[in-house]
Structure 1
């Protein structure tokens, strides 16, 4: 069988177009074969391929790329590649005319969120055609809805003679891509004139014609046994963009009448029912990965995962497991379940301890048989790469009583040689870790079932991918080459944390990750694909640059963006600032600063913590020279006076004008927010003006192109690794290059009216939201709508008058009718997705919502040791039975044109 591929692509000298054939084996592994194409004029490229092994009813997936010696190669959109069906019975020769496919503007319609949930249509088997001479048309029509089928109608009688009700039906052989084979003998003349139409499969009425002029193809001479394939430009229809509504709630916050003191995967199914019955389409959750390092409440932070693959045991739905045969134990566990489930907030330690004990009981009772099952063997085969190290890590963590593997007496790093023993059921090592295999198998089965259930209900499950991982977690232990352990990831100062945020995560060794094509991240995203059809990239700015804080710092003020282009002494002085290295890079401590910070305790501070150097200048004693040393010195001291003294010393240590580059000691970075500190205050006014110019150039202009290139090394591989809908949290100190990349890759942005992207306005205009965005009122890191309303009365008043267009004084606390108005306005925005927290949905009903609005808060970013324990105060069953609230939500969703 001869296959000839043709594509027009304008190249310049040195560029070549390559044909890439992608083949998938029985285990889902993909192999790509490359072929250099021929050309006559640098524009028309072709390649002739002979496939002796090609058989009927098979298909060929392929894509084109451009290679050159002097620049990065580029390739087509990889989420949906070209597909050639080898289904023509008499086809011995295929001639294909393709066109280059970049990421389409409506790429979201190809995501599994739409193809598997919103527009769910099964892909039919292609019917073989038996024509002697065949013309095949291939076209993409992503706008079609579930009840519509594409058809082609044209001038020839065999194509309906322009009668749309006699049009030829087409077959969706790939997501949103339709195909039809035409018998050349029945076509009239050398010019084929036609158009596409969308037919309603339910009533066969109200056909919808594609927009634009009729299409024409000038047919070549076609021989017997030849199939000529034309891939055509997309068919467009007058169909409005889809807008969807949804709810955000952490899994741990769910409450049902049968849960175990914390939300679980069974409760997630119930919440899907509520979302579906209120005509919403999206249910968003926070990360569900295992975070267990200490077995205490400090593990409640869901963004500090120990494994990017393993699910948290706390989410196991114990109701789905076989019942305990021991009646007394069963009754004891049930009594404890009722006690824990009645608590207003999560008791993280008791819940997890109880669930671990229950899982051990089931493991002892049922584990042997469950681990012999075909389902477990398949799960182990699919997950072995990460599951085996994870299980050994958990065993060693519990054996040695700590997660800090650098302190373990042995196994301080994963040893690949031990994999075989840990994978052999008869070995002692396997028996030691078998329980962890069992738990992950149970969790995987339950979460995959939730995912399937959501798809059946037409609900998009949206997950969350944290930017960081725990520095003492399994991922770092297993593959330390991917991490920098001498720094800490965080965020620069913002409205939520004036000292910045220090998450404590290690930063990534991107050089090492990019070297192997970001395999670690690709595996991570593909694993998420098992459970979700959309995801939120937490802190997407981290893919451009991360805020890296020295390991000896507590706050985030001494951080620097990594990577970033540091400034040399000469460059700084070129702006006109005389560079005093010691004064600018070391804590500037003088008498007036000490008096301003410590007041009546100034003399004590000088004596205990400082050494006098010269004149009125001091330096910190060596034992207090870093924030970590100060933290250690004040450990266990919790009085207000001690905390005030400690925080004052922290402030002295961060009182610098520049921080030294961590890789090159001869480069420097302006310290973030230095204008609010004493070292800036001490400058002459003329020097302040120069520093401000340096500061603005550095943070808002200097690194833009550099960071753009950094992001484009990573993000394209990741967003095209799966068909999940990609959303990103792009809040904070956002450089100009971020929207460039997000628009290029068609990633949905996050839009909050209270945090507008436009620096010239106080509140965002909802009508200005881009379609490709997620609109919300509050996130898990923010106060809820009701809390925000009472935080700052002046701001609220301005919002009430200028955004809600209401006169008079704003009412406090926020009444339900006004919360409903605010929710309704957000739902009416142009954003594709409007996802509101469950607390903000409940705010519209004064009879149902929580009396204490401050108890609704999920996280306080300024507190790195916050206890994540918020739980819905009303059960999902009661929500389902509350007709007034259910109809209220449904009415808001439907009135806004969302579905």
Structure 2
């Protein structure tokens, strides 16, 4: 088989083009040649199977190394024809993502049934294959067709078009015998009614024209693949965001579960919502205490938390006494206004242990379980072993385990054999994950049947005492701490405690770790939120000796040399500017009456009235250790003051090159900055703004484009990015190029010098919301800052008179409707904000609706709905109002 590729692509000196072909396990690379650096040709002469499609992508090389490759989810493709066809002439253009790529995702496409292209009879010696991309036709019970100006194309008669075949999801092909066509001819692509074949829509563009040089016998000509568009109203969807654990039903066990999630979908359908967004559902079991309620500190990127198993879907306990005792406790915990994580999870696990003893052996022998185990063994076995060893040794910190502290695959395989005495305990975790898989898969199937977009959440970090840190430590910098610089959530920055990623190691296997993670998500979800997408550009890396995030630095980054710092006109002294600035004035302002105690205990005098931290207290972790369990108000205030002293530096040495420096984030509010001369303050600010807002844009763009195209196109899910915080200028470039949905929040505007965003100006490719789980609810925000609320009421909502407080239902309804009217593709509102429009039904306790407070690192995640789902489904007045709001905003 001979294949000639032709493509126009303008290269620069030293670059060349090549084509990578794939068919099943066969791979072939074709180098291309050019005469002018713009028109490229390549010829492949190789054996391919005549029964399977051939896919291919173009790539750019520089000095023999691939520097750019087409990254769209849909590769170019063609199907071999009849036995006469031995030479394929292919015209192409470079393609990354199709326009409106969101329409090609699983969020907007029903199940695909593969279609084989129709092969012409062997009498057809010269052929033309038309190729087109057109999404969404299956949803409307339509097919793509061609109609044109010659008899073979129906002479423009609406009832005589030719049907195309959907050979891959949203990819349509049609091969014609060239001898039946009259050249030149005009044609159009049309949408056909699936059953009758009649034309329902014509593409919105002038007629296409086709002329072709004569083909030789055995040749097939493939013109450039084209994207087909019809005049369709853009999809705009409304939905609800809620943690699964927050769901409440009459039959749940003190926390929401996958059965409750299915019931929530019934409510979504009833109110015409088409999206449900949840928080991460991965297992976070470290200690079994309430601190495990934090859903972003997972011990496995694959395993789900056992708390989400719906016990109602399991066989009943045969021990009636135990069943009655359980039901009594279930009713008790389910009556709590807030989730009691410890009581509820322990009650559930006790029940699951009893069910495992009763049903486990039969389940583990079933063909369904064995199939699940075969497909998930790579992660499931280490996870189950980790859980067993965590329970056995009483700690998830594998560094403290007397055995198995270093992961050895052969040792773990032996530990997990059916003959080992530990097997029953290990297999218990197999059993739990199988139940979770079955139940979540049922939820996912239900969502697809109902036309609901189910949106998951991928945390940016993992626990440093997780399965992945144990099994694959080479992928992480375990001596670093990931976090975020200061923002609206936390003036001291956020220290999440997660290890940072070793991106260099991940790049070597084309980010396999991430691709496997995304592939697992795609089994259940049709959309996902990338938590802290900024971490794929750079992460805020905090040294392990810090508690706060102020002493962090971006990684990767371009630190400043001494000469660069001086070039900004700053008098730079590394010895002075990298250590805390402490004098008597600072001590009096920070500690007041405790100043003398601080002088005698924590610091030591230096020259000229200055002080330094004593060696035993020169890091925040050392100070933290000294205070131990002292949690009284005076101790906490003193400790925070000492933390502030330690972070009161102007520059931080680079983690990798101590001869280079980073200006400390948000230092302008600290004493060390205030003691600079006005001239040095101006020079520092000039340097600071250049460093944080200009220096890294191109560098971080390239870093993100190494990773995100590979990851976001590795599954068919719709990709949404959480792009809040200190956003580099290159982030919108990448998100626009990759068509990743941004996050738009009115009280956190993207535009500089604006107090509030304008919902009517949001981009179409965005998720519009009133607030996230890290923020106060609409009603909570309304009461936080009366002066700001008043400005919003008058300047943004254009109301007159006194600002009402608390926020009345009619006002909340107006705000909700303004968000629904936004151009954003998705408008996903917190359940609490949907409820705010109804004064009779919403929770009278506004503070009780807050999910998380990022400034509190040990916050207890425990919020629950105050109504049951059964009650919610019966609230006709509320549900009708939500339906009308969604319909009136022209959302689906």
Decide which of 874, 877, 883 is 2:870's aligned counterpart: 877
Task: Classify the secondary structure of the residue corresponding to 1:240.
Answer: coil
Q: Which moved more, 1:45-54 or 1:305-314?
A: 45-54
Q: How does 1:221-370 map to 2 (within 5 A)?
A: 221-223=214-216, 226-370=219-363
Q: Is the 8 A contact 1:7 1:46 kept in 2?
A: no
Distance change in 2, residues 1:829/1:707 (3 Å): same
Alignment partners' CA distance in 2, 1:250 and 1:411: 35
Q: CA deviation at 1:866?
A: 0.3
Q: Residue in 2 aligned with 1:560?
A: 553
Decide which of 106, 109, 117 is 1:126's aligned counterpart: 117
Q: Residue in 2 aligned with 1:838?
A: 831
1:46 matched to 2:39? The reply is no
Decide which of 608, 613, 630 is 1:637's aligned counterpart: 630
**C-alpha deviations, 1:247-296, integer Å up to 9, x for none?**
10111111111111111111111111211222111110000111111110
Q: Is the 8 A contact 2:489 2:854 kept in 1?
A: yes
Alignment partners' CA distance in 2, 1:641 and 1:804: 44
Q: How does 1:650-799 map to 2 (within 5 A)?
A: 650-799=643-792
Distance change in 2, residues 1:778/1:597 (3 Å): same
Q: Residue in 2 aligned with 1:501?
A: 494
Alignment partners' CA distance in 1, 2:875 and 2:26: 54
**C-alpha deviations, 1:62-121, integer Å up to 9, x for none?**
2222222177522223411122223547645544333321222311111111123xxx66
Q: Is the 8 A contact 1:89 1:128 kept in 2?
A: no
Task: Classify the secondary structure of the residue corresponding to 1:304.
Answer: coil
Distance change in 2, residues 1:195/1:502 (3 Å): same
**C-alpha deviations, 1:294-322, integer Å up to 9, x for none?**
11000000001111111111111111112
Q: Is the 8 A contact 2:308 2:436 kept in 1?
A: yes
Alignment partners' CA distance in 1, 2:508 and 2:562: 32
Q: Is the 8 A contact 1:393 1:474 kept in 2?
A: yes
1:862 matched to 2:858? The reply is no
Q: CA deviation at 1:856?
A: 0.4
Decide which of 120, 138, 142 is 1:148's aligned counterpart: 142
Distance change in 2, residues 1:457/1:896 (3 Å): same
Alignment partners' CA distance in 1, 2:491 and 2:630: 23
Alignment partners' CA distance in 1, 2:201 and 2:353: 59
Q: Which moved more, 1:864-873 or 1:494-503?
A: 494-503
Decide which of 614, 628, 634 is 2:607's aligned counterpart: 614
Q: Is the 8 A contact 1:750 1:773 kept in 2?
A: yes
In the alignment, structure 1 segments of 5+ residues that lack a partner are 25-29
Q: CA deviation at 1:359?
A: 1.5
Q: Is the 8 A contact 1:801 1:807 kept in 2?
A: yes
Q: Residue in 2 aligned with 1:158?
A: 152
Q: Residue in 2 aligned with 1:180?
A: 174
Alignment partners' CA distance in 1, 2:720 and 2:606: 53
Q: Is the 8 A contact 1:143 1:236 kept in 2?
A: no
Q: Residue in 2 aligned with 1:400?
A: 393
Q: CA deviation at 1:621?
A: 2.1
**C-alpha deviations, 1:27-63, integer Å up to 9, x for none?**
xxx66432334556551313233436423xx322222
Q: Residue in 1 aligned with 2:435?
A: 442
Q: Residue in 2 aligned with 1:27?
A: none
**C-alpha deviations, 1:779-802, integer Å up to 9, x for none?**
000000000011111111111111
Q: Is the 8 A contact 1:89 1:129 kept in 2?
A: no
Alignment partners' CA distance in 2, 1:783 and 1:232: 48
**C-alpha deviations, 1:585-605, integer Å up to 9, x for none?**
111110111111111221122
Q: Residue in 2 aligned with 1:812?
A: 805
**C-alpha deviations, 1:369-404, integer Å up to 9, x for none?**
211122122211111111111111111111110111
Q: Is the 8 A contact 2:161 2:199 kept in 1?
A: no
Q: Residue in 2 aligned with 1:7?
A: 7
**C-alpha deviations, 1:639-696, integer Å up to 9, x for none?**
2111111111111111111111111111111111111011111111111111111111
Alignment partners' CA distance in 2, 1:896 and 1:291: 39
Q: Is the 8 A contact 1:39 1:46 kept in 2?
A: no
Distance change in 2, residues 1:31/1:896 (3 Å): farther
1:825 matched to 2:827? The reply is no
Q: CA deviation at 1:631?
A: 1.2
Q: Residue in 2 aligned with 1:22?
A: 22
Distance change in 2, residues 1:628/1:885 (3 Å): same
Alignment partners' CA distance in 2, 1:378 and 1:87: 37
1:491 matched to 2:484? The reply is yes
Q: CA deviation at 1:894?
A: 1.0
Alignment partners' CA distance in 2, 1:603 and 1:10: 71
Task: Classify the secondary structure of the residue corresponding to 2:491.
Answer: coil
Q: CA deviation at 1:617?
A: 1.2
Q: Residue in 1 aligned with 2:30?
A: 35
Alignment partners' CA distance in 2, 1:325 and 1:219: 76
Distance change in 2, residues 1:538/1:182 (3 Å): same
Q: Which moved more, 1:4-13 or 1:658-667?
A: 4-13
1:169 matched to 2:163? The reply is yes
Alignment partners' CA distance in 2, 1:94 and 1:691: 63
Distance change in 2, residues 1:5/1:570 (3 Å): closer
1:458 matched to 2:451? The reply is yes
Alignment partners' CA distance in 2, 1:826 and 1:723: 27
Distance change in 2, residues 1:93/1:45 (3 Å): closer
Alignment partners' CA distance in 1, 2:59 and 2:323: 61
Alignment partners' CA distance in 1, 2:242 and 2:153: 51
Q: Is the 8 A contact 1:421 1:430 kept in 2?
A: no
Q: How does 1:544-583 map to 2 (within 5 A)?
A: 544-583=537-576
Q: CA deviation at 1:530?
A: 0.9
Task: Classify the secondary structure of the residue corresponding to 1:497.
Answer: coil
TM-score, normalised relative to structure 2:
0.96
Q: Is the 8 A contact 1:9 1:45 kept in 2?
A: no
Q: Which moved more, 1:644-653 or 1:88-97?
A: 88-97
Q: Residue in 2 aligned with 1:62?
A: 56
Alignment partners' CA distance in 2, 1:127 and 1:430: 53
Q: CA deviation at 1:472?
A: 0.9
Q: Which moved more, 1:688-697 or 1:835-844?
A: 688-697
Distance change in 2, residues 1:32/1:748 (3 Å): farther
Q: Is the 8 A contact 1:421 1:429 kept in 2?
A: no
Q: How does 1:74-153 map to 2 (within 5 A)?
A: 74-86=68-80, 88=82, 91=85, 93-116=87-110, 122-130=113-121, 132=124, 133-142=126-135, 144=137, 146-153=140-147
Q: CA deviation at 1:219?
A: 2.8
In the alignment, structure 2 segments of 5+ residues that lack a partner are none
Q: Is the 8 A contact 2:21 2:54 kept in 1?
A: yes
Q: Is the 8 A contact 1:164 1:197 kept in 2?
A: no
Alignment partners' CA distance in 2, 1:248 and 1:606: 51
Alignment partners' CA distance in 2, 1:280 and 1:121: 24
Task: Classify the secondary structure of the residue corresponding to 1:161.
Answer: helix
Q: CA deviation at 1:332?
A: 1.5
Q: CA deviation at 1:338?
A: 1.4
Q: CA deviation at 1:331?
A: 1.6
Alignment partners' CA distance in 2, 1:87 and 1:365: 57
Q: CA deviation at 1:853?
A: 0.8
Alignment partners' CA distance in 1, 2:667 and 2:177: 74
Alignment partners' CA distance in 2, 1:420 and 1:648: 51
Distance change in 2, residues 1:62/1:646 (3 Å): same
Q: Is the 8 A contact 1:388 1:422 kept in 2?
A: no
